[in-house]
């Protein structure tokens, strides 16, 4: 089974796939910005070359083909109307042993079983109908020493996690393989994905939680993080586009150092921006946005001049008299955005009420238990002190009552534990809303880039016109004027190219948004319906059990009712 043991693992497979991975990766070393841009364009061309990643075959399937919803257990329950001890209602076998950092047991099995029993959130489990699957497990955290680091004397330690993948997807070139990664690598993966797949609803990565890592007990923190990482990677593998991304493949398969540009590499380009700007202003270096840069939004330190231009454009959009040349005109999108906002609000509201419902159920169980306990004490007391038969009879009645109360309280608590898990779907979708907003903002920043380039183009063109017009009047060496016109025409051509790429990018993101929204709607409908079913079945099952417990007491005390009729 899954876990730290790598049985059935063949070196040959890994070696072969490693080769492929390395071919994918750039030829040039990663430590200068040029190679970075080559890498980026190589990647984007790779993406556009393959069949459109959003082809229908990869879209999520409707819920009723999901194997989890069709098993007999709870259907039998419905038809036979007997509270069977189906696994559907039993609390999940949660293992909670937080072991030593260097030898933590693999809990992911339990987590997965649990997920399957209570719900099948399409976002956390792979949901394709065909038999392809990608199953990821995170385990075996180990403390490692930082390699001798000139910046940090004495060396720091960090934790690595074993990430095991089991898959039958051919593109991976292997059936089972493992790598060791640290959290920093995950951040890198997440950042690179965000850049490559603008407009998609990419599952959010776990937080850095700097404070928590200091405050919490180390073992607890590591375990929490392990769980979070596993959840994150599984979600990535469940996303129809991301699961096929090179970034993910590389992350899951390439041994040793993660061959993705780290965020610090990218950040070092911050210096570029500060260096570039004065040159750009003085006209010494190109002010045109390079095509490969256009596919990314303007970032802080890096593209100061571009940032200024786009800022100016957005102000012009808001306050300027003239309408920008391209606007968000997709009415359907605007409507859907509204709907998403509304949905978010309602989800938040339900989430809040769900929390207080859960608390009320918990309190009910607790108080019922306390009542039962108080009567157990009374029973003991009466039995010890009994002088009369009436006392013994009363002690007997109390015992029956107390036992029932304690049983009922247990059922309430079990019911509640399951309710928490079912209603968790709401919280998950709330989290997803943030991702959606981020995807929408990818779209708006791409649009802004287009608008900026368009207006720049138009101003360049009018400048060119003016230059040509004044040609006859200028007294000076014709050569320099012509050169100026030539330079300007060159700039216009470059800007035209950039504009086209920017428009293409914008269209691409728009399409991503659209298809993701569709996918979201479908999956959300399935997940929420599942949640409702789970919730309702759960309530029915446990309430029947509780009713049985009390019906027994009614029968046992029916003597008293007759006495009084």
Gap between the Cα atoms of 212 and 116, Å rounded: 30
Q: Per-residue b/e over 55-90, b at no fewer than 16 CB within 10 Å?
A: eeebebeebeebeebeeeebeebeeeeebeebebbe
Which residues from 354-393 bind other proteins, rule CB under 8 A? 354, 356-357, 359-361, 363-364, 367-368, 370-371, 374-375, 377-378, 381, 385, 387-388, 390-391, 393
Verify binding: residue 544, other proteins, rule CB under 8 A: yes
Answer for which of 43, 58, 241, 546 binds other proteins (CB under 8 A) is 546
Asked if 529 is part of the footprint of other proteins (rule: CB under 8 A), the reply reads yes
Tell the smallest beta-carbon distance from residue 22 to other proteins (Å). Answer: 45
Based on CB atoms, which residue is closest to other proteins, 77 or 166? 77
Q: Is 539 exposed, middle or buried (0-12, 13-18, 19+ CB in 10 A)?
A: middle
Question: Among 169-177, 277-285, 434-442, 555-563, which window interacts with other proteins (CB under 8 A)?
Answer: 555-563
With binding defined as CB under 8 A, does residue 430 bind other proteins? no
Q: Is 353 one of the binding residues for other proteins (CB under 8 A)?
A: yes
Nearest to 242 by CA among 270, 191, 201, 287: 201
Structure tokens at 291: 């095509």
Q: Residue 129, interface with other proteins (CB under 8 A)?
A: no
Tell me if 560 contacts other proteins by CB under 8 A: yes
Smallest distance from other proteins to CB 330, Å: 21
Is residue 495 within 8 A of residue 456, CB to CB? The reply is yes
Spatial contact of 223 and 104, defined as CB atoms under 8 Å apart: yes
Q: Least distance (Å) from other proteins to the CB of residue 123?
A: 16
DSSP state for residue 298 in the 8-state scheme: -
* Contact flag: residue 332 with other proteins (CB under 8 A): no
Q: What is the spatial distance between Cα 355 and Cα 353, in angstroms, rounded to a whole number?
A: 5
Place of tokens 């063949």: 10
Question: Does 532 participate in binding other proteins (rule CB under 8 A)?
Answer: yes
551 sits near other proteins (criterion: CB under 8 A): yes
Q: Does 408 bind other proteins (CB under 8 A)?
A: yes
Q: Which range in 180-188, 238-246, 286-294, 531-539 contacts other proteins by CB under 8 A? A: 531-539
Q: Which range binds other proteins by CB under 8 A, 24-32, 149-157, 232-240, 529-537?
A: 529-537
Interface stretch with other proteins, choices 57-65, 173-181, 207-215, 478-486 (CB under 8 A): 57-65
Under the binding rule (CB under 8 A), the answer on residue 397 touching other proteins is yes
| Binding status of residue 399 toward other proteins by CB under 8 A | no
Cα–Cα distance measured from residue 107 to residue 226, given in angstroms and rounded to the nearest whole number:
10
Burial 279-297 (b: 16+ CB within 10 A, else e): ebeeeeeebbbebbbbbbb
- Which residue's entry shows tokens 């995807």? 439
Q: How many helices (H) and strands (E) does the chain have?
A: 16, 3
> Which residue is associated with the tokens 């008299």?
321
Q: How far is the CB of 388 from other proteins (least distance, A)?
A: 5
Where are the alpha helices (H) located in 197-240, listed in sequence order? 210-215, 218-238
Binding site for other proteins (CB under 8 A): 62-64, 69, 78, 339, 342-343, 346-347, 349-350, 352-354, 356-357, 359-361, 363-364, 367-368, 370-371, 374-375, 377-378, 381, 385, 387-388, 390-391, 393-394, 397-398, 400-401, 404, 408, 525-526, 528-529, 532-533, 535-537, 539-540, 543-544, 546-547, 550-551, 553-554, 557-561, 563-564
């Amino acid at each position: 089974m899954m876990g730290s043991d790598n049985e059935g693992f063949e070196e040959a497979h890994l070696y072969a796939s490693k080769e492929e991975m390395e071919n994918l990766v750039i030829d040039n070393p990663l430590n200068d910005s040029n190679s970075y841009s080559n890498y980026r364009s190589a990647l984007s061309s790779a993406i556009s070359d393959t069949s459109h990643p959003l082809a229908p075959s990869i879209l999520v399937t409707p819920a009723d083909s999901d194997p989890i919803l069709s098993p007999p257990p709870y259907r039998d329950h419905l038809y036979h109307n007997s509270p069977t001890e189906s696994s559907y209602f039993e609390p999940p076998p949660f293992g909670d042993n937080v072991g030593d950092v260097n030898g933590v047991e693999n809990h992911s099995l339990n987590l997965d079983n649990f997920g399957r029993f209570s719900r099948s959130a399409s976002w956390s489990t792979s949901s394709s109908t065909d038999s392809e699957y990608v199953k990821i497990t995170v385990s075996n955290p180990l403390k490692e020493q930082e390699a001798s680091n000139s910046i940090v004397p004495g060396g720091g330690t960090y934790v690595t996690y074993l990430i095991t993948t089991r898959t039958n997807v051919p593109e991976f070139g292997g059936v089972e393989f493992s790598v060791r990664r640290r959290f920093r690598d995950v951040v890198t993966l997440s950042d690179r994905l965000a850049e490559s797949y603008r407009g998609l609803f990419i599952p959010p990565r776990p937080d850095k939680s700097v404070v928590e890592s200091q405050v919490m007990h180390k073992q607890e923190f590591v375990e929490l993080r392990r769980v979070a990482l596993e959840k994150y990677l599984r979600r990535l593998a469940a996303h129809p586009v991301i699961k096929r991304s090179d970034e993910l493949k590389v992350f899951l398969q390439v041994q040793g150092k993660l061959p993705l540009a780290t965020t610090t590499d990218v950040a070092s380009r911050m210096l570029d921006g500060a260096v570039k700007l004065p040159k750009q202003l003085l006209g010494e270096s190109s002010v045109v946005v390079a095509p490969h840069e256009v596919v990314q939004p303007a970032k802080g330190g890096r593209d100061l001049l571009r940032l200024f231009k786009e800022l100016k454009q957005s102000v012009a959009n808001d306050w300027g008299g003239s309408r920008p040349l391209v606007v968000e005109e997709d009415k359907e999108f605007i409507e859907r955005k509204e709907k998403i906002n509304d949905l978010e609000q309602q989800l938040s509201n339900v989430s809040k009420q769900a929390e207080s419902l859960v608390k009320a159920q918990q309190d009910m169980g607790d108080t019922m238990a306390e009542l039962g306990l108080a009567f157990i004490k009374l029973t003991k007391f009466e039995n010890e002190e009994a002088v009369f038969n009436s006392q013994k009879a009363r002690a007997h009645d109390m015992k029956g009552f107390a036992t029932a109360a304690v049983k009922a309280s247990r059922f309430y608590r079990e019911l509640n534990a399951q309710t928490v898990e079912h209603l968790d779907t709401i919280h998950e979708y709330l989290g997803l809303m943030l991702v959606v907003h981020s995807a929408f903002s990818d779209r708006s920043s791409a649009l802004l880039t287009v608008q900026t380039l368009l207006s720049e183009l138009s101003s360049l063109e009018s400048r060119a016109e003016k230059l040509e017009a004044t040609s006859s009047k200028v007294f000076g060496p014709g050569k320099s004027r012509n050169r100026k016109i030539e330079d300007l025409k060159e700039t216009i051509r470059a800007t035209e190219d950039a504009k086209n790429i920017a428009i293409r990018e914008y269209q691409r993101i728009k399409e991503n948004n659209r298809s993701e929204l569709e996918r979201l709607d479908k999956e959300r409908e399935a997940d929420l319906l599942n949640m409702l079913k789970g919730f309702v079945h759960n309530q029915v099952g446990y309430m029947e059990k509780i009713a049985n417990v009390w019906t027994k007491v009614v029968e046992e005390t029916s003597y008293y009712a007759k006495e009084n009729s």
